[in-house]
Amino acid sequence: MATTAPDSTIDALLDAAGGLWAERGLGRASLREIGRAAGQGNTRVVQYHFGDEDGLLDAVLERERIRIEADRAPLLDGLAEAPPTVLRDHAAALIRPLGARLATPSGRHHLAIAAELFNRGTGADVRRAGGTGRGPGSLNRWRRLVLPLLDPEAAELHTRFSAVQFGHTEMARLGRRGVSSANRALVVERTIDLATALLQTPISDETRDAMTR
């Protein structure tokens, strides 16, 4: 990103890209269209500031990821200092920072884009969505903290990833639907309940048999 660009120009480009991608899906808005939506007359403005679509996408995700990391860090610190035996506390550390993104348009756009990447399921998309390819991010730390409380067989089936994927997908769904500030706490706590159930559900005999085939 060019450091000499006015903040208003960068913010306008990030807002335009986030809004178009959240509405249509990734890859369904040209860089020229994004520039026009940001009120820029230069048809190559995105390339000038971000290089290409991947650079722009990383910048869109990073803007909210910084806030998510800041919100999650103290929750993870608490889990590390006094490890609870209740999985709901771990689910809350995963979900609440995402739920906070429901309060702003850029946050809701981030949730929609991240959910699309998580649901694609490729390693590169997952790392991009969660920032897990950028060193010791909060999702990597969360996975390490929750692991001792999981059934080993559930952990083998990537239950932690399922909870992360569910949390982003559900928050994105709520963001698209629209959640009033009065109901935000309720939907976030309900999502934490559901993520907790996912983490603590035991492996069935049928699943265990399928694992050994």
Predicted confidence (pLDDT) per residue in 120-131, tens digit: 988 899 989 987
* Six-digit token string for 144: 């390490």
Angstrom distances, CA of residue 114 to CA of 16, 63, 89, 108, 176: 16, 12, 23, 10, 13
Domain range list for the chain: 1-51, 64-212
Tell me which residue of 110, 31, 36 sits closest to 68, measured CA to CA.
Answer: 110
Predicted confidence (pLDDT) per residue in 61-84, tens digit: 999 999 999 999 999 999 999 877
Calpha distance 127→192 (Å, rounded): 23
Q: What percent of the chain has pLDDT over 90?
A: 72
Cβ proximity of 112 and 17 under 8 Å: no
Q: What percent of the chain has pLDDT over 70?
A: 95
Hey, which CATH number is domain 1-51, 1.10.10.60, 1.10.260.40, 3.30.420.40, 2.60.120.260? 1.10.10.60
Stronger pLDDT, 80 or 154, i.e. the higher one: 80
